[in-house]
Amino acid sequence: MTELKCTDPVILNQWHPLSSIDEITPGLIHSTMLLEENISYGMDTDGNAYAWPFDNQLPTRSRLTSKTVRNPLPIHIAHGYVWTSLGEPPETLFSFEEYYEADRINVPTGVFGVNVSAGRAVENFLDMSHFPYVHTGILGEEPHTEVKEYAVEVSETRDEVLATQCQFYQPKAALASEGGAMVDYTYRVPHVNCALLYKSSPNDASRSDVIYMFLQPMSQDWVRAHTGMCVIDEDNTYESIRYFQQVIFGQDKPILENQYPKRLPLDPRSETPIRADKTAIAFRRWLSRKGLRYGVIPAAA
């Protein structure tokens, strides 16, 4: 690729999700946008994935064969997704062991365009105190608005933000009962644009369901949000899981699209955190330390 519009090495050198494998029609060329560049991708009928800068000779929806790709981009297949990079990506991607556990169902719940920066979307994903107001009656409900103290650390070994011992009141928390209860959450941010949340499984208290959001930055303030769940669940159907996750995401979307400025401000004095925002504070500082500039408003030096 010639001149790239994005010049931030921190973001160029990441792996970025393009699509869940489920949503790729084998043998067909798909296209999308990544960091303001038009990108084509696809999988051949043998399960090999390819991605390349858009090429006039290879129009979208035409046939893909491995021979036709001229300037291939790096490819990584992991966690049910095809990932690529416009720079020099690391050898591996973050771990997501639960995805590979045999008794789980993995449900990609859809990819949505959101008019916001990746950082704002991740921060919303990490936030509990909006549950009673944005996900009323589903993930939270007044008057149960309190965020209890929880723990946040930046794991040095894994280079990820980790929030543990999070608890929040959820109405209709268990499938079996009507009543609300406190639900345990753990949050992981193992990648600048990816976050996972672990939530005690209503079917097996010793294990957690996982909900993830992998963001593909189309530009600094426009993302594709790849969402999905990885659950231990005999009762729910594929459709009901999708329905639940789309309802939740659809409720967050107008909030995200009304955040102003759209890029995530990293200067601690640009917005007002409270104790409940500990994870977000750690996330913003972690991004600052990485020197990220794309999709954020860096703190003035």
Residues engaged in binding another protein (CB under 8 A): 22-23, 108, 110-115, 123, 129-130, 132-134, 142-147, 224, 238-240, 242-243, 246-251, 253-255, 257-261, 265, 267-276, 278, 281
Question: Are the beta carbons of 209 and 229 closer than 8 angstroms?
Answer: yes
When the beta carbons of 62 and 258 are compared against another protein, the nearer one is 258
When the beta carbons of 129 and 288 are compared against another protein, the nearer one is 129
The CA radius of gyration of the chain, in Å to the nearest whole number, is 19
Distance CA 95, CA 164 (A): 17
Q: How many CB atoms lie within 10 A of CB 154?
A: 15
When the beta carbons of 191 and 242 are compared against another protein, the nearer one is 242
Quote the least distance from Cβ 112 to another protein, whole Å: 6
When the beta carbons of 12 and 255 are compared against another protein, the nearer one is 255
DSSP 168-223: EEETT-SSS-SS-EEEEEEEEEEETTEEEEEEE-SS-TTSEEEEEEEEEEEETTEE
**Tokens 């009507």 identify what position?**
178
When the beta carbons of 87 and 110 are compared against another protein, the nearer one is 110
DSSP state of 63: B
Strands 296-297 and 264-265: parallel
Quote the least distance from Cβ 181 to another protein, whole Å: 12
Quote the least distance from Cβ 164 to another protein, whole Å: 18
Quote the least distance from Cβ 57 to another protein, whole Å: 20
Distance CA 32, CA 34 (A): 7
Quote the least distance from Cβ 239 to another protein, whole Å: 5
Quote the least distance from Cβ 84 to another protein, whole Å: 18
Asked whether the bond before 268 is cis by omega within 30 degrees of 0, the reply is no
Give CA separation, 133 vs 74, 129, 187, 230, 276, in Å. Answer: 42, 8, 20, 26, 15
Quote the least distance from Cβ 144 to another protein, whole Å: 7
**Tokens 């426009």 identify what position?**
222
Q: How far is CA 68 from the centre of its chain?
A: 31
When the beta carbons of 60 and 66 are compared against another protein, the nearer one is 60
| Strand locations in 45-159 (E) | 49-53, 75-78, 81-84, 105-114, 151-155
When the beta carbons of 16 and 208 are compared against another protein, the nearer one is 16
